[in-house]
A and B are shown apart, each in its own frame.
Chain A
Amino acid sequence: MNDLPKARIATASLAGCFGCHMALLDIDERLIELMKLVEFDRSPLTDIKRFTRRCDIGIIEGGCCNEENVHVLQDFRRNCDILVGIGQCAIMGGLPAMRNAIMHSDEPLRECLEEAYIRGPFTQNKTQIIPNDPALPLLLDKVYPCSEVVEIDYQIPGCAPTGDVIFEALAGLLSGRFQGFERAHIRFD
């Protein structure tokens, strides 16, 4: 058993809330079975910041809201055999994508930033400046789902997906027999 090479998994959270990473823990005691089969490379769980080598499965949470998200996502596509989008943010932008369409606004991004840093009723920003430090990643005009930036092989729906659905997908992918989800297990909320 121990002689088999373990599959390498990398994970990242882009414009997400880390809820899908938390949901990984909902696999509960099956995590022990899973950890016999896999090891984690680049991931917030290991705190490894760069790929140490090519990975079998990359798991992406969240969509792309800034240029850093795009770079990370492209890096994952280059370094992973199978790329999996997990959660509604990765799949269709999710909650961050609410800034893409703001009623009565031709410039939703400006509207969003002004509401957050200048005009909001609870804003305490004495400088009245929208943060623009060069160290901050540049925001994109809108939030993009991952599949609009790179090719995504599989998606695990849910907000966040249940542990059962995540385990079903990972176990299927690791055995090479993943054929989609049980219809009764699919949830978008």
Chain B
Amino acid sequence: MSGFSFQIDGVEVTAKNGQTIMEAADEAGIYIPRLCDHEGLRHQGGCRVCTVKAGGRSVAACTQPAAPDLVVENETPHINKLRRDLVGMLFNEGNHLCPICEASGNCELQAMAYRLGMTEPTKFPYLEPCRPVDASHPDIALDNNRCISCGRCVRASQDVDGKGVFGYVGRGIHRHIAANGPNLRHTDAEVTDFAISAEVCPVGCIIRKREGFARPIGERDYDDHLIGYDIEKKRDE
């Protein structure tokens, strides 16, 4: 397969034909922050946290194909501020109470806030939605108040599990993720599904029952390392 090179933050990166900016960056050990994108799932370009400037234009790095001699800006103060505002608005939109959430420490939304240094007082009011919790399934619970509508469970269930347990419903601000049935018990969701696994839901919305705090706070994924550490360490090797 033929390849070409382009630049990310002044670093020369090689890419294969058809690769997106993010795929090439991942291979080169350059982390581009993302929430709705996940390895093994098709790209969606929904959360826009991976926004970069490519040739001066703002594009989603997870869907934008890399091109020869493209100049990409990733970790600049301006772009990181945009990302911080985006992540901050996700915190304002749902009920993200880290101290009571069992995903705390494994949560990608929280880890992204750490990475982007989200410590400033919020500029926006908290919407504090009151969405129903679905605990009908014997092994799985859904706390929709924590959902950020990234759609990773939708793609995982459709494409990997071949089930289509989850889907988007509604329009605009009312758009949300729903189970394909009156509740989760009436779908063919199983706790062994990829869509239900710990790596797919980036927040604490999909909960595997009786797992909870088996791994204590302080020993979790992002307690020792910033999110993106696993990609960035490739660069040092």
Q: Which residues of A contact B (CB under 8 A)?
A: 85, 88, 91-95, 97-98, 100-105, 108, 142, 145, 147-148, 151-152, 155-157, 159, 180-181, 183-184, 186-189
Contact, CB under 8 Å: B130 / A147: no
Given contact pairs A92-B91, A101-B130, A188-B113, A155 touches B97 in the complex (Cβ within 8 A): no
CB < 8 Å neighbour of B115 from A93, A180, A183: A183
B157 within 8 A of A: no
B100 within 8 A of A: yes
Can you list, as one digit per residue, whether each of B102-126 has a CB less than 8 Å from chain A (1) or not (0)?
A: 0011000010011101111110011
Given contact pairs A94-B99, A155-B121, A180-B117, A145 touches B132 in the complex (Cβ within 8 A): no
Name the 4 nearest CB pairs between A and B, nearest first: A188-B98, A159-B99, A147-B121, A189-B104
A69 to chain B, nearest CB (A): 17
How many interface residues does chain B have, given as a range? 20 to 34
| Complexed CA–CA distance, A142 and B118 (Å) | 24
Contact, CB under 8 Å: B98 / A183: no
Q: Which residues of B contact A (CB under 8 A)?
A: 91, 95, 97-101, 104-105, 110, 113-115, 117-122, 125-126, 128-133, 145, 217, 223, 226
Contact, CB under 8 Å: B133 / A103: yes
Chain A residue numbers with a CB within 8 Å of B145 are: 101
- Please, which residue of chain B has its CB at the minimum distance from the CB of A185? B114
- Of B122, B125, B133, B217, most buried by chain A (CB within 10 Å of CB) is B122
Chain A residue numbers with a CB within 8 Å of B132 are: 103-104
- Please, which residue of chain A has its CB at the minimum distance from the CB of B98? A188
Given A92-B91, A97-B126, 8 more A-B residue pairs with CB atoms under 8 Å apart are A91-B121, A93-B97, A98-B100, A103-B132, A147-B121, A186-B113, A188-B98, A189-B98
Contact, CB under 8 Å: B121 / A85: yes
Contact, CB under 8 Å: A145 / B126: yes
Contact, CB under 8 Å: A188 / B128: no
- Please, which residue of chain A has its CB at the minimum distance from the CB of B109? A188
CB pairs A–B below 8 angstroms (28 shown): A85-B121, A92-B91, A94-B97, A95-B97, A95-B99, A97-B97, A98-B100, A100-B128, A101-B128, A101-B129, A101-B145, A103-B131, A103-B132, A103-B133, A104-B130, A105-B130, A142-B128, A148-B125, A155-B119, A157-B119, A183-B114, A183-B115, A183-B117, A183-B226, A184-B226, A186-B113, A186-B118, A189-B105
